[in-house]
């Protein structure tokens, strides 16, 4: 009798429950999208991502000899200098926030934070602010602004992607976008990946493994870079269309580059566009233009700027690649007669095959009338118009911060008023990799009797002698100019005729890099050596000139070693030596009656320490030495210790 009783009870309970459910379903209620299982996909924020990095950086310099930084005011390098932070607008803490409201719309912004020092840090970044005038934390817009002249490093970036029936349309606005169109219109020079890794850049990533960066450089011949690599900073609006019918794409942009804005209060902006047609096998043709326009006065009565129009192509067949760019440009200002000049470059490369050598031939020709400081080539022939006479690097200056006149540059680097031919070769085996090349170039017309060149060994340490500003014509003999993370020297020539330059200058470059990888007791060891031999003369030569026929000849060798002794500690070492010699057609010292005879040396050691996921500690200790045996005052020696802590999240 119990079993039928149990079934009867369950039947009664089931009927009662179904009655309650029916009554609940009959009650009217809103169709809410909130809950574990919404009836339809909710709108609003769908995805939120926050990332960024923290970077602590400190340097300690010890100068053993007094070095005259500015003879006009008698300023010398400090015997001891402890500096915490980076003397540029690179943040200590950067936070990137982004989200998506749908598959077709996304947004993002960046927040940056600096380390403000308590001392007087120069008007470039704002003067010292009294504690009583500082803004409160809860109301930062009140009171005196810290670093009143600081501009945004990245700012607030807004972007969106939209899928349409014609293709994908993307819009980027505000902040600073990193963008490139082509070498001759808008791009940054990448070179041939021959450089030294010992001196870290502020933007270098930490990599996945402790030795991953060095292994990648050995295996692939290049290293991972951030969004800035090869691109230009652009603040404005960029509209791109991709995957359009007929395999077309386009880009339109308007706003400001690093050459616009700043401390100038006169209207100035840049604009450009690109249309690209793609074919099979990584081939394409594109039309590009980029232009700059600025007012020469506050009433915009006169203007100055540049125009650049090019056609770019790339074709590939059986592994052989032919690419090039051909166009024209002009520079105009109240003091220049505007006319168009030619600009072109062509590259022919053999197939990339494992175990086989790859060869690339590069030819370029750029007219002296073509000026475009957003392209990969330098201006070395046209004295650019400026709205004031303040020297480059000074507060409020409108001068361009880069070497002017005939510059000795790295292999593959281009300048205007020059044509040249470069040959590059890459080869390697399992444990040894080689990369090298030869280059020769000549001026199209005789330019100013001036040559500029850099000193690769200890170049970053040299640039730290002058903090916060980028002065020109400084040093014991007022022939050094400070640019970001580098210094270049100016050489005056004396082979003109009654003040008229009659000789064209010719340049030769030789580079060779050998990379070696092995294991020592199971530990990976990497040894990289880079050799350079460059010259400038008034006689053409297919290779570097090694005698006094050259105005300037320079020889550089740099070697670096890395070995991982534990999974968390990697030791490194560096050695560099350079010689720079001038002939008697260059500057002569009034006491020794001899031209330049410079020697520089750097010896370093350090360690990379793994602190956990995405966090590294980088220690560097370098001893440095430089002396010009002909110019007695141009010499220094000392040591520098740097500590960098970088963590990504």
CATH number, domain 47-127+145-648 = 2.40.170
Q: How far apart are CA 136 and CA 294, in angstroms?
A: 39
| Mode of pairing for the β-strands spanning 268-278 and 341-349 | unpaired
Please list, residue by residue across 531-552, b when 16 or more beta carbons sit within 10 angstroms of its beta carbon and e when fewer do: bbbbbbbbeeeeebbeeeebbb
CA dihedral 531, 537, 539, 545 (to 10 degrees): -30
Q: What pLDDT is attached to residue 100?
A: 76
| Structure confidence at residue 16 (pLDDT) | 47
Helix-strand-coil percent breakdown of the chain, rounded to 5?
5, 45, 45
Angle of CA points 92, 95, 96, to nearest 5°: 140
HEC profile for 69-114? EECCCCEECCCEEEEECCCCCCCCEEEEEEEEEECCEEEEEEEEEC
Query: In angstroms, rounded to a whole number, what is the distance separating the alpha carbons of residues 192 and 341?
Result: 27
Cβ neighbour number for residue 45 with a 10 Å cutoff:
10
Determine contact, residues 396/390, Cβ cutoff 8 Å: yes
The secondary structure of residue 397, as a DSSP letter, is -
d(C-alpha 45, C-alpha 304), whole Å: 46
The CA distance from 374 to 610, in Å, is 38
Q: Burial letters for 190-217: b for 16+ Cβ neighbours within 10 Å, e otherwise?
A: eebebbbbbbbeeebbbbeebbebbbbb
What global pTM score does this model have?
0.84
Looking at the chain, the number of H-run helices and the number of E-run strands are: 3, 30
* CB-CB contact of 259 with 292 (8 Å): yes
Q: Provide the H-helix boundaries in 339-496.
A: 459-463
- pLDDT of the residue at 3: 43
Q: What's the rounded Cα separation, in Å, for the pair 134 and 420?
A: 56
Full 3-state SS string of 280-345? CCCCEEEEEEEEEEEECCCCCCCEEEEEEEEEEEEEEECCEEEEEEEEEEEEEECCECCCCEEEEE
Report residues of the chain scoring pLDDT below 50. Answer: 1-4, 6-37, 118-121, 123-124, 151-154, 393, 395-396
Measured distance CA(116)–CA(289) in Å, rounded: 40
- Domain ranges for the chain: 47-127+145-648
CB burial of residue 337 (10 Å; 0-12, 13-18, 19+): exposed
C-alpha–C-alpha distance, residues 31 and 414, integer Å: 66
**What is the model's pLDDT at position 145?**
66
Distance, CA of 378 to CA of 441 (rounded, Å): 14
Report DSSP state, residue 201: -
**What pLDDT digit, counting tens, does each position of 132-150 carry?**
777 787 777 677 766 655 5
> Which residue from 305, 474, 445, 327 is spatially nearest to 384, judged by alpha carbons?
305
Q: Name every residue whose Cβ is closer than 8 Å to that of residue 251 and which is 6 or more positions away in sequence.
A: 179, 181, 238, 239, 240, 241, 272, 273, 274
DSSP state of 477: T
- Tokens for 337, please give them: 């007669």
Sheet containing strand 480-483, edge to edge, reads 406-407, 450-454, 486-492, 480-483
């Amino acid at each position: 009798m119990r079993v039928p009783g149990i079934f009867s009870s369950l039947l009664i309970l089931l009927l009662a429950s179904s009655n309650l459910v029916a009554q609940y379903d009959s009650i009217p209620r809103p169709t809410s999208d909130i809950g574990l299982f919404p009836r339809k996909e909710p709108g609003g924020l769908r995805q939120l991502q926050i990332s960024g990095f923290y970077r602590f950086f400190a340097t300690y310099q010890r100068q053993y000899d007094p070095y005259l930084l500015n003879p006009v005011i008698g300023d010398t390098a400090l015997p001891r200098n402890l500096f915490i932070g980076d003397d540029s607008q690179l943040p200590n803490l950067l936070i990137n926030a982004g989200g998506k409201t749908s598959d077709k719309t996304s947004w993002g912004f960046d927040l940056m934070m600096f380390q403000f020092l308590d001392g007087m840090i120069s008007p470039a970044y704002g003067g010292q602010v009294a504690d009583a005038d500082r803004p409160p934390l809860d109301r930062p817009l009140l009171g005196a602004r810290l670093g009143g002249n600081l501009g945004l490093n990245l700012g607030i970036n807004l972007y969106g992607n939209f899928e349409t029936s014609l293709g994908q349309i993307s819009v980027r606005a505000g902040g600073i976008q990193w963008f490139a169109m082509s070498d001759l219109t808008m791009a940054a020079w990448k070179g041939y990946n021959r450089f030294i890794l010992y001196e870290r850049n502020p933007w270098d990533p930490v990599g996945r493994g402790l030795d991953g960066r060095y292994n990648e450089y050995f295996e692939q011949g290049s290293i991972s870079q951030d969004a800035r690599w090869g691109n230009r900073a652009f603040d404005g609006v960029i509209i791109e269309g991709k995957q359009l019918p007929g395999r077309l794409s386009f880009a339109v942009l308007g706003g400001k580059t690093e050459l616009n804005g700043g401390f100038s209060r006169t209207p100035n902006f840049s604009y450009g566009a690109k249309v690209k047609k793609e074919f099979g096998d990584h081939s394409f043709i594109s039309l590009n233009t980029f232009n700059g326009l600025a007012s020469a006065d506050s009433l915009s009565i006169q203007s100055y700027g540049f125009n650049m129009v090019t056609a770019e192509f790339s074709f590939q067949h059986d592994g052989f690649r032919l690419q090039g760019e051909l166009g024209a440009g002009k520079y105009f200002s109240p003091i220049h007669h505007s006319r168009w000049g030619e600009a072109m470059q062509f590259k022919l490369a053999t197939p990339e095959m494992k175990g086989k050598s790859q060869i690339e031939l590069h030819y370029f020709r750029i007219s002296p009338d073509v000026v475009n400081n957003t392209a990969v080539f330098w201006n070395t022939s046209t004295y650019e118009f400026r709205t004031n006479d303040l020297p480059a690097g000074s507060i409020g200056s409108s001068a361009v911060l880069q070497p002017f006149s005939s510059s000795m540059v790295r292999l593959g680097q281009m300048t205007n008023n020059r044509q040249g031919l470069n040959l590059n070769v890459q080869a390697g085996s399992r444990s040894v990799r080689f990369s090298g090349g030869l280059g020769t170039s000549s001026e199209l017309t005789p330019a100013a009797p001036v040559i500029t060149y850099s000193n690769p060994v200890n170049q970053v340490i040299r640039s730290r002698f002058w903090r916060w500003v980028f002065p020109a014509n400084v040093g014991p003999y007022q022939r050094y100019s400070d640019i970001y993370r580098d210094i270049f020297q100016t050489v005056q020539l004396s082979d003109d005729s009654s003040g008229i330059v009659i000789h064209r200058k010719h340049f030769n470059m030789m580079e060779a890099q050998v990379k070696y990888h092995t294991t020592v007791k199971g530990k990976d060891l990497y040894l990289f050596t880079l050799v350079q031999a460059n010259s400038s003369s008034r006689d053409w030569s297919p290779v570097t000139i090694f005698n006094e026929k050259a105005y300037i000849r320079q020889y550089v060798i740099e070697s670096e070693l890395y070995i991982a002794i534990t999974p968390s500690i990697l030791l490194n070492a560096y050695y560099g030596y350079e010689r720079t010699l001038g002939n008697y057609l260059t500057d002569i010292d009034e006491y020794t009656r001899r031209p330049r005879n410079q020697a520089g040396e750097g010896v370093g050691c350090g360690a990379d320490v793994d602190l956990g996921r995405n966090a590294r500690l980088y220690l560097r200790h370098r001893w440095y030495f430089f002396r010009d045996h002909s110019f007695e005052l141009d010499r220094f020696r000392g040591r520098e210790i740097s500590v960098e802590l970088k963590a990504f999240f």
